[in-house]
Amino acid sequence: MRFDVITLFPELFAPFMQHGINRRAFESGLVDVHLWNPRDFAEGNYRRVDDRPFGGGPGMVMMAEPLWQCLQAVRAARAEPDDTRAPVVLFSPIGEVLNHTAVERWSASQGAVLLCGRYEGIDQRFIDACVDQQISLGDFVLSGGEIAAMALLDAVARLQPGVLSDEGSHQQDSFNPALDGLLDSPHHTRPEVWQGPQGAMPVPDVLLGGHHERIARHRREQSLLVTARQRPDLLARAREHGLLDDADQSFLRAQGLL
């Protein structure tokens, strides 16, 4: 799949794609990323890409024309038929909040053109004419869309075959359908007893016994507890869709959570 990123700061993406386990996806071309700077398509000696907003107000607004010229170059490079061309995605606080289901869709798609805004925003006329979808990371505002674009690329990259050392690793991620949309359970590693700030803290005995069914049940119960405490909405949705079996519900009742 191919992602074309329109950004005023393409240099931010190089270290992101060159480090960490997900670099396998970028280096192999499983997730093919191309960076485009709209300043390269601006006119004048100063290559200006922003101007003051009509009607007054603070800050500057990204101009439509440099973005349009940049997008035209992206379209030419992708050489896609009009009826199958990749969508243009703008990262914006007013967009749909990114979740695991959406990431799975993107991970199986042809890719997209990712538009990273800056300053006070982008000329609304360009958004109306060219943007197909808006995505948000949550109810807060970033300085630009680059961090959001990296978050999407990272989430998509780790779902590609061969990227994670253990092919089944992402199946145990929080929100994954394999966990019925619940949060992942806690994890432990060596030493078996950690001398922490609260004294000796041992690993739960069940994880040391080698009994796979008991371990699976323990992890399921811990997943239920974490979800009930941190994201009760996810637990309610799992129950509504009939994803909790009798053992799950008995455990939750015993904990006073049903």
Among candidate residues 53, 93, 237, 239, the one labeled active-site is 93
- Classify residue 104 by burial, with Cβ atoms within 10 Å: 0-12, 13-18, 19+: middle
The separation between CA 226 and the C-alpha centre of its own chain, rounded to angstroms, equals 21
The separation between CA 6 and the C-alpha centre of its own chain, rounded to angstroms, equals 18
Largest separation between any pair of C-alpha atoms in the chain: 71
**Residue 53, token pair as written in the block:** 């907003």
Among candidate residues 118, 158, 219, 220, the one labeled active-site is 158
Identify whether the C-beta of residue 121 lies closer than 8 Å to the C-beta of residue 62.
yes
Contacts of 255 (CB under 8 A, 6+ apart): 225, 228
Among candidate residues 75, 173, 217, 239, the one labeled active-site is 173
Among candidate residues 104, 120, 154, 184, the one labeled active-site is 120
Let me know if 105 is a catalytic residue.
no
Let me know if 120 is a catalytic residue.
yes
Let me know if 177 is a catalytic residue.
no
Q: CA-to-CA distance for 63 and 49, rounded, in angstroms?
A: 6
| Beta-carbon-side half-sphere exposure of residue 44 (alpha carbons within 13 Å) | 9
DSSP string computed for 55-97: T--SS-EE-HHHHHHHHHHHHHHHT--GGGPPPEEEEEEEEEE
The β-bridge partners of 144 are: 118
Let me know if 220 is a catalytic residue.
no
CA-CA-CA-CA torsion for 42, 46, 52, 58, nearest 10 degrees? 120
Positions marked catalytic: 93, 120, 158, 173
